[in-house]
Amino acid sequence: MSYVFSPPAPVAVPVAGGGQFPVHRVYCVGRNYAEHAVEMGHTGREPPFFFLKPADTVLPVAEGELGAMPYPTLTQNLHHEVELVVALGAGGRDVSPEQAQQLIWGYAVGLDMTRRDLQNDMKKQGRPWCIGKGFEHSAPIGPIQPRTRTGDITRGAITLDVNGERRQTGDIADLIWNVAETIAALSRAWTLAPGDLIYTGTPAGVGAVVPGDVLHATIDGVGSLRLRIDPAQR
Ligand code: MN
C-alpha cells in the first residue's frame, strides 16, 4: 500500500496483566444515572442517547501511574465525569441484551472530560456537542481489565475524588440503561466492532477542575485511574 503520508499508529489502551487493546470507536451514553439527569435538568426517564469521541481523544493511563491531561483550549469550565467503560472484543448488529454480554472483552475506569460551557452553548443553539466533548485528551482511561478476570460488572461503587475530596459517587447498579441494554441499543444504530469502547454515563456530582488538580476515580471490581490536570499547552 502506498500511502501518501505515514498513517498514525493505532490508538491502544494497556490491558491489566499485559498486552494492548486496540481502539476502534469511542461511544458515550448521555444521562444514564437518574440523579445526574436531574442535575442536568431532565426527568431521568428519557430513552438512551449517544455521542462519539474520535478514537485519538483516548488518553491511556497505565496501571499505578498518574496520567496528565493538558487543560484544553476555549473553555473556562472543564468538567469531570467518571464512567464505567466497556471494551468490546466482538462486534454485531441488532444484538439482544443477552447476546450483548458476550461482546464484552473487558472493563475500565474512564473520564468523559467535558468543556461544559461549550457543550451548553451548543445545546442552547441546537448544535452538535462535538466541540464540548470530542477534543484531544478528552477520554482518559485506566487499564482494561479482562472480563475473564472481573466477571460481568453489574453493580459496585463508582467514585471520583478531586484533591482527596469526594465529588461524585454512585453505583453501577443505578444505571438507567444497564450495560447490556446500552450495547443492544447502540447495535441498532451502528455496527459494533471489536475495539469499540463505550463510556456508559456518569453519576451525579459533575463539576469543574483546574490545572494542578489531581483526580482519582475508582470502580469496585474494575480498578482506579489517577489523572493530573496540567496547564494549557501552546
Ligand atoms: Mn458522560
Looking at residues 58-81, what average pLDDT do you find? 97
Contact 79, 166 (CB under 8 A): no
Task: Look at residue 125 in the predicted model and tell me its pLDDT.
Answer: 96
Distance 10 CA to ligand 1 centre (A): 24
pLDDT > 90? residue 188: yes
Residue 76's nearest CA partner among 120, 123, 139 is 120
Give 83 Cα–ligand 1 centroid separation in angstroms.
7
* Whether pLDDT at 45 is above 70: no
pLDDT higher than 80, residue 44: no
Residue 78 predicted with pLDDT over 90? yes
- Amino acid 90 reads A
Centroid of ligand 1 to alpha carbon of 117 (angstroms): 15
Q: Sorting pLDDT into bands at 50, 70 and 90, what band is 40?
A: confident
Query: CA 136 to CA 186: how far, in whole Å?
Result: 24
CA 80-83-88 angle, to 5 degrees, is 140
pLDDT of residue 1: 77
Block residue for cell numbers 449517544: 50
Quote the ligand 1 centre to 151 CA distance (angstroms): 24
Q: Which of 151, 108, 147, 93 is nearest to 12 (CA)?
A: 108
Q: How far is the CA of 149 from the centre of ligand 1 (A)?
A: 26
Residue 233 alpha carbon to ligand 1 centre in Å: 24
On the question of pLDDT at 232 being above 90, the answer is yes
| pTM score, whole prediction | 0.96
Mean pLDDT of 171-190: 96
Question: How far does residue 147's CA lie from ligand 1's centre (Å)?
Answer: 22
**For residues 100-106, average pLDDT:** 97
11 alpha carbon – ligand 1 mean position (Å): 20
Predicted local distance difference test score (pLDDT) of residue 233: 84
Better pLDDT: 43 or 148:
148
Asked if the model's pLDDT at residue 119 lies above 90, the reply is yes
3-state SS assignment for residue 97? helix
Q: Where are the alpha helices (DSSP H) in the chain?
A: 34-39, 97-100, 116-125, 130-133, 147-150, 179-189
81 C-alpha to center of ligand 1: Å?
A: 6
Residue 116 Cα to ligand 1 midpoint, Å, equals: 11
Query: Phi/psi of residue 66, each to 5°?
Result: -100, 110
| Range 178-188 average pLDDT | 97
Name which of 10, 38, 6 is nearest 22 in CA terms.
10
Three-class SS of residue 203?
coil
**CA 112 – ligand 1 centroid, Å:** 5
Averaged pLDDT of the chain: 95
> CB–CB of 10/58 below 8 Å?
no
CA 29 to CA 65: how far, in whole Å? Answer: 27
Distance from the alpha carbon of residue 17 to the mean position of ligand 1, in angstroms: 27
**Ligand 1 centre from 114 Cα, in Å?**
8
- For 12-230, the fitting CATH number among 3.10.105.10, 1.10.10.10, 3.90.850.10, 3.30.420.40 is 3.90.850.10
